[in-house]
Chain A
């Protein structure tokens, strides 16, 4: 804040390069690409671990139960002697899959409803905005519990519940974007030149919507995963036989007072790291691809 007005003026267009890694030959883009690669590797490692690790490590071994973290069992073992690392990796893979499905479904719903609201006239528009208000009027978790309850719990309940709760804010953004695009000069010109609605929609509007959809997806994903884990933790989601992070943590709760802290600590931390890795991946990838920030 002690900077003079000239510093501020210089800062306006883009953020200055800061930090010590800005030696010649190591640009911001390189660093971003590095982060993307690192996060992608981490996520790939989690999925590979979750799929490749055999069931023998999650089988019951009563002789090594409640083992504290060691070199052989980095995350320790639970009260049945199951390897927590293997359980965590399997749980994370499941979370990742559910997160991808639900976030994609949510973006799809948002796209369709946003499109309908912006193009099908006033009545449809006010109906959809009312629908958006309806879904925003309940806390997400309450809606998911309601939907999950009505579908009898299980994977289906969680997926439908999470997919149906996360679209409203994105639908609003898409609607606003399309309304703005419809009066843009290039769209009007194209219409005047006699292009069909379909041509205008796919050639002129869709390319502008893709970044919005992408950003929407990246923002939705962590929410979707955390809500899935939360609902499962509460007991509405996946069944106890499935290796889900929510299940692991709710089981861990019973062993907390016995001092078995690793049951909760490592799985939760892994979930946090995975969500963060996806965040970093999505954000950096966007900045690398998006022409507005590609010059940085």
Chain B
């Protein structure tokens, strides 16, 4: 009974996602078509003077750019349905393989930052909530509010200046050491290059979760059952573990999953600062150099990424939370 409900819910969500993705395909395709940046020009780039009008026409024909936009869209869309996103103009490789490779690098970065910011943010929120209106609470609140107005890329630049340029502890950017062949790069090298971007992203990601957890915990602590528990003499960590933790952890977890969109945005900026070869840097390159197929691919992929985060958040509520589970089961 209960699982059937979850399945129905899941199917509804996926259907909605399908309509959204279709609209997104249409919208982004025609948005990009609207662009004054000429894709042939972008493709030719610096060789502008050596490419004559006939060659331009040939290139346009090769990419299918001489056909009417609707026909182009149908051509592209039917290819996408078959799993073919076309060829990236910058990398001269299939879009999907570029995205796959870059997303692998981004996944490390985003995953580590996500985990770290979640854990630290939750802990800070709990501390602030338990010690409400003390100096610890005010410090944490002030810190979180300041973080909310800090530009990600500026923090990245600061971290880079202090730890890479002045102290020299970490390399200045890039995903792997320069001048090494792919098989010579060790896991340690990769981790070494990952530390600063992860630090930047997780320092900023803390604010949201911490403030939210603090509010929730204050609500819980004001409830009647906590009042009763206090009357029985419970206090401190025991009180928190028995009555606070389970009520607070689920909203925090949901919030973390629902924040995939901000995580992606932060990663785009952080990857740019640290020249980290991830998906974020790819979309910037594709946009700046007019690589339409790659740009479309990354846009659709980021939509899928955000959607799966939101879906997990919804499912968590349905499956983990006994109140909603029971309610849905009736």
Q: Which residues of B contact A249 (CB under 8 A)?
A: 151, 153-154, 157
Q: Indicate if the CB atoms of A137 and B306 lie closer than 8 Å.
A: yes
Q: Once the chains are docked, how many angstroms separate the CA of A140 from the CA of B298?
A: 14
Known: A12-B222, A261-B161. Is A142-B264 also a contact (CB below 8 A)?
Answer: yes
Q: Which residues of A contact B307 (CB under 8 A)?
A: 137
Q: Indicate if the CB atoms of A2 and B235 lie closer than 8 Å.
A: yes
Rounded to whole Å, the gap between the CB of A7 and the closest CB of chain B is 10
Q: Indicate if the CB atoms of B154 and A141 lie closer than 8 Å.
A: no
Q: Which residues of B contact A140 (CB under 8 A)?
A: 261-262, 265
Q: Once the chains are docked, how many angstroms separate the CA of A232 from the CA of B172?
A: 22
Q: Which of B231, B236, B265 contacts A142 (CB 8 A)?
A: B265
Q: Indicate if the CB atoms of B151 and A229 lie closer than 8 Å.
A: yes
Q: Once the chains are docked, how many angstroms separate the CA of A268 from the CA of B152?
A: 10
Q: Indicate if the CB atoms of A139 and B261 lie closer than 8 Å.
A: yes
Which residues A182-221 have CB closer than 8 A to chain B? none
Q: Indicate if the CB atoms of B261 and A268 lie closer than 8 Å.
A: no
Binds A, one of B29-37, B111-119, B178-186, B249-257: B29-37
Q: Once the chains are docked, how many angstroms separate the CA of A16 from the CA of B134?
A: 12
Q: Which residues of A contact B16 (CB under 8 A)?
A: 130, 133
Q: Which residues of A contact B231 (CB under 8 A)?
A: 5
Q: Is A123 an interface residue (CB 8 A)?
A: no
* Proximity bits, A258-273, B CB within 8 Å = 1, else 0: 0101001100110110
Main SS of the interface on chain B? helix
Q: Which of B28, B151, B165, B287 contacts A272 (CB 8 A)?
A: B151
Q: Is B14 an interface residue (CB 8 A)?
A: no
Q: Which residues of B contact A133 (CB under 8 A)?
A: 16, 20
Q: Indicate if the CB atoms of B37 and A149 lie closer than 8 Å.
A: yes
Q: Indicate if the CB atoms of B261 and A136 lie closer than 8 Å.
A: yes
Q: Which residues of B contact A256 (CB under 8 A)?
A: 157, 160-161, 165, 172
Q: Once the chains are docked, how many angstroms separate the CA of A151 from the CA of B166?
A: 41
Q: Which residues of A contact B288 (CB under 8 A)?
A: 235-236
Rounded to whole Å, the gap between the CB of B268 and the closest CB of chain A is 5
Q: Once the chains are docked, how many angstroms separate the CA of A114 from the CA of B221?
A: 35
Rounded to whole Å, the gap between the CB of B28 and the closest CB of chain A is 6
Q: Is A146 an interface residue (CB 8 A)?
A: yes
Q: Which of B236, B272, B299 contacts A1 (CB 8 A)?
A: B236
Quick one: closest B residue to A143, CB to CB?
Answer: B299
Q: Indicate if the CB atoms of A272 and B149 lie closer than 8 Å.
A: yes
Rounded to whole Å, the gap between the CB of A216 and the closest CB of chain B is 16
Rounded to whole Å, the gap between the CB of B63 and the closest CB of chain A is 17
Q: Is A226 an interface residue (CB 8 A)?
A: yes
Q: Indicate if the CB atoms of B269 and A152 lie closer than 8 Å.
A: no
Rounded to whole Å, the gap between the CB of A266 and the closest CB of chain B is 11
* Proximity bits, A49-72, B CB within 8 Å = 1, else 0: 000000000000000000000000
Q: Indicate if the CB atoms of A279 and B157 lie closer than 8 Å.
A: no
Q: Is A8 an interface residue (CB 8 A)?
A: yes
Rounded to whole Å, the gap between the CB of A20 and the closest CB of chain B is 12
Rounded to whole Å, the gap between the CB of A282 and the closest CB of chain B is 12
Q: Once the chains are docked, how many angstroms separate the CA of A253 from the CA of B269?
A: 13
Q: Is A150 an interface residue (CB 8 A)?
A: yes
Q: Which residues of A contact B165 (CB under 8 A)?
A: 256-257, 259, 261
Quick one: closest B residue to A144, CB to CB?
Answer: B265
Rounded to whole Å, the gap between the CB of B325 and the closest CB of chain A is 25
Q: Is A145 an interface residue (CB 8 A)?
A: yes
Q: Is A122 an interface residue (CB 8 A)?
A: no
Which residues B6-22 have CB closer than 8 A to chain A? 16-17, 19-20
Q: Once the chains are docked, how many angstroms separate the CA of A123 from the CA of B222?
A: 41
Which residues A222-252 have CB closer than 8 A to chain B? 222, 226, 229-230, 233-236, 245, 249, 252
Quick one: closest B residue to A221, CB to CB?
Answer: B149
Q: Once the chains are docked, how many angstroms separate the CA of A5 from the CA of B232?
A: 11
Rounded to whole Å, the gap between the CB of A210 and the closest CB of chain B is 24
Q: Once the chains are docked, how many angstroms separate the CA of A149 from the CA of B288?
A: 8
Which residues A142-195 have CB closer than 8 A to chain B? 142, 145-152
Q: Which residues of B contact A15 (CB under 8 A)?
A: 133
Which residues B264-316 have CB closer than 8 A to chain A? 264-265, 268-269, 272-273, 283-284, 287-288, 295, 298-299, 302-303, 306-307
Rounded to whole Å, the gap between the CB of B58 and the closest CB of chain A is 25
Q: Is A134 an interface residue (CB 8 A)?
A: yes
Rounded to whole Å, the gap between the CB of B266 and the closest CB of chain A is 8
Rounded to whole Å, the gap between the CB of B172 and the closest CB of chain A is 6
Q: Once the chains are docked, how many angstroms separate the CA of A227 from the CA of B269?
A: 10
Q: Indicate if the CB atoms of B302 and A139 lie closer than 8 Å.
A: yes
Q: Which residues of A contact B306 (CB under 8 A)?
A: 136-139
Q: Once the chains are docked, how many angstroms separate the CA of A259 from the CA of B231?
A: 60
Q: Indicate if the CB atoms of B32 and A150 lie closer than 8 Å.
A: yes
Q: Is B24 an interface residue (CB 8 A)?
A: yes
Known: A1-B236, A249-B157. Is A150-B34 also a contact (CB below 8 A)?
Answer: yes
Q: Once the chains are docked, how many angstroms separate the CA of A222 from the CA of B236?
A: 37
Q: Is B145 an interface residue (CB 8 A)?
A: yes
Q: Once the chains are docked, how many angstroms separate the CA of A151 from the CA of B231?
A: 64
Q: Is B239 an interface residue (CB 8 A)?
A: yes
Q: Indicate if the CB atoms of B149 and A142 lie closer than 8 Å.
A: no
Specify which of A235, A249, A256, A257 lies most central, judged by the most chain B CB atoms within 10 Å of its CB. Answer: A256
Q: Indicate if the CB atoms of A230 and B151 lie closer than 8 Å.
A: yes
15 contacts between A and B (CB under 8 A): A1-B132, A16-B133, A137-B20, A137-B306, A138-B261, A138-B306, A139-B261, A139-B302, A140-B262, A142-B283, A146-B299, A150-B35, A256-B172, A268-B158, A272-B151
Closest 6 CB pairs of A and B: A268-B154, A275-B149, A141-B265, A150-B31, A152-B36, A139-B264
